[in-house]
Amino acid sequence: MFFVVYISNFINFKITIMRRTLTSFLFLLLSFISIAQTTCDSLTLLKKSIYGFKPSNLSDSLKNLKSKELDVFWRTAQNNPTDASKCLKALIELEKKDSYFCFDASSLLLRLDTSTQYLPTVINGIKKCKLEDLQLSTYLQICFYLGYKGQDIGALTTKLISLPNASIFLSNHFITLNAIDASIFLFNIMPTTTAENVLISAIQDGNSTAKHNAAVVLNLLATDRGDDFLNLAIEKKQLEDSTIQFILNDKKNFIVKPKGSTNREKVLEALNDVPYNFEKEFFGFAGNDELISSACSQLNKKDIEKIRVARRKSTPGLSDEALHEYFALTKILMTVRNKK
């Protein structure tokens, strides 16, 4: 008992000393920074002192201490956003090894940039990151924002679907996404041809995880080119049996037997109102089997582009509701494309 108490006191003493040391360090560092000639001088000095670590290697107590150091770096940049942005751009471009710095600095640059001039730098910085070192929810949010801004996020999305056993927790909605579901948000804001190209390249050149995930999403994309590519890959056994079975199950499960009674005019109106129209008390297709079935019955192949436009509007943000709406419209799209 004495030994346990002794060890506990020793650990608490050690943590206290670490915190006092950190406080002293930050005080001295801030004092030095206050007389530094430029913001970039300060950021460069802080980078050398603070970064160069892997979050996964830190204990919880050390993570808390490191967080305070990172706050100093961010506050220094936020005090002079214009100069800090230029400096971060240079530091990111020069960095070759520090994965976490590239991610943290890119996140900071994204926060500071009130225009879009630094978005390509943000993308290049995140490309250097190892996803194992990051919170995937933040990675997904940044990629989604960049895609929403019209940036090329193909390489970033491929990186996500290439990560084995990826698990992305969205705390605002209390849901956990796998790589396929998470990537749907990213592929759905890409032009269709771009999404096709990224997915086909991942199947051809990616690791086994990327091949499986990309094949599943390409099937959900539901395009003639994508279908032709998958059918040939299945015929030539270029995909794993488990992947082929997954795709065949989706092809079966996403085809709806049309039997709804809602008329065509109402269905087209609903497509235009996706993802919702509160004034009309329209809350989307998801969960409305009657409306989904009616759409499958009333729509024909000439309406395919209208369905695609609606599906692109179905994911304005990262949420389970948006994902459900995407899948509801995918059922309609696949069923209508399957009509003779």
Tell me what pLDDT residue 11 has: 34
**Angle of helix 264-273 relative to helix 289-298, nearest 10 degrees?**
110
Summarize the confidence of residues 53-58 as an average pLDDT.
Answer: 88
Asked if residue 63 has pLDDT above 90, the reply is no
**Band (29; pLDDT cuts 50, 70, 90):** low
**Band (15; pLDDT cuts 50, 70, 90):** very low
Summarize the confidence of residues 102-109 as an average pLDDT.
Answer: 97
Tell me what pLDDT residue 283 has: 96
- What is the C-alpha separation between 293 and 301, in angstroms, rounded? 16
Asked if residue 27 has pLDDT above 50, the reply is no
Q: For 118, list phi and psi in degrees, rounded to 5.
A: -100, 5
pLDDT in tens, 275-311: 999 999 999 999 999 999 999 999 999 999 999 999 9
Question: Is this prediction's pTM over 0.85?
Answer: yes
CA-based nearest residue to 246, from 224, 208, 217: 217
pLDDT in tens, 118-167: 999 999 999 999 998 889 999 999 999 999 999 999 999 999 999 999 99
CA 305 to chain centre: 26
**Band (260; pLDDT cuts 50, 70, 90):** confident
Summarize the confidence of residues 10-39 as an average pLDDT.
Answer: 48
- What is the C-alpha separation between 79 and 100, in angstroms, rounded? 22
pLDDT in tens, 156-184: 999 999 999 999 999 888 899 999 999 99
Which run of H or E residues covers position 112? helix 99-112
